[in-house]
Amino acid sequence: MKNPCNASLLSKSFRMPKQIPHQILDKETVDEMIYNTKRQRDRLIMELQARCGLRIGELLKIRVSDVAERTITLREPKSGKNAEIAYMPETISRKIAEYIKTKNLQSDNRLFPICYSTARSLIKRLGAKLNVNISPHDLRRYSATYASRNGVPLEVVSKVILRHQDLKTTQVYLGKISDCEAIRWMDILHGR
């Protein structure tokens, strides 16, 4: 029996839209955006996304009790699990501890008590200052690409930074490799 959905008329009418490749931010742009951020809260939001690969929704749910040394427990993550662990560099860990102390936050307080639209407009506004059209998810994409391009194994990028279940999902995040970069990696791997 022939599947009626395979008819040429239907396949022409319901084509999948072409995926537009996302622009991957460069390190200098992200660092400048973070450096130019005046408020401590806004800088931490930017750094947690760009350095730790957090989703904006996860970031906004973090409570003070979820922060411990170099880890953040993410409650109700996108994966559907009860919780996941996100890791952060020592510098960000210290900044968060200082922020909690400065703001005198209690353990049940949200670290960043703002809504999604406020966080999104904050990041868009910071990007606009540098003439960069950016969304919060672009910072997560940058985190993965930056790690991958600096030799972090794909498995670590996938399971630790992005916390994906499948490597194929992670590969969608990584930017296209230019010819120049491919040649540079071949020289690194096999010498000149």
The single-letter DSSP state of residue 130 is: T
- Do residues 21 and 171 touch, judged by C-beta distance below 8 A? no
What is the enclosing helix (H) or strand (E) of 71? strand 71-75
Domains of the chain: 22-173 (1.10.443.10)
Q: What is the rounded CA–CA span in Å between residue 185 and residue 136?
A: 29
The CA dihedral of 77, 28, 127, 162, to the nearest 10 degrees, is: -10
| The token pair that represents 167 in the structure block | 């490597």
Helix residue spans in 14-131 (DSSP H): 27-35, 40-52, 56-61, 90-103, 116-128
Distance CA 108, CA 48 (A): 20
> Quick one: pLDDT at residue 149?
84
Give the whole-angstrom CA distance, residue 66 versus residue 85. Answer: 9
Picking from 46, 62, 63, the residue whose alpha carbon sits closest to that of residue 140 is 46
> What is the CB neighbour count within 10 angstroms for residue 135?
14
For residue 138, give the amino acid letter.
D
pLDDT tens digits in sequence order for the chain, 192 residues long:
666 666 666 666 666 666 666 677 889 999 999 999 999 999 999 999 999 999 999 999 999 999 999 999 999 888 778 899 999 999 999 999 999 999 999 999 999 999 999 999 999 999 999 999 999 999 999 998 888 888 888 889 889 999 888 887 787 777 667 777 778 767 877 876
Q: What's the rounded Cα separation, in Å, for the pair 181 and 151?
A: 12
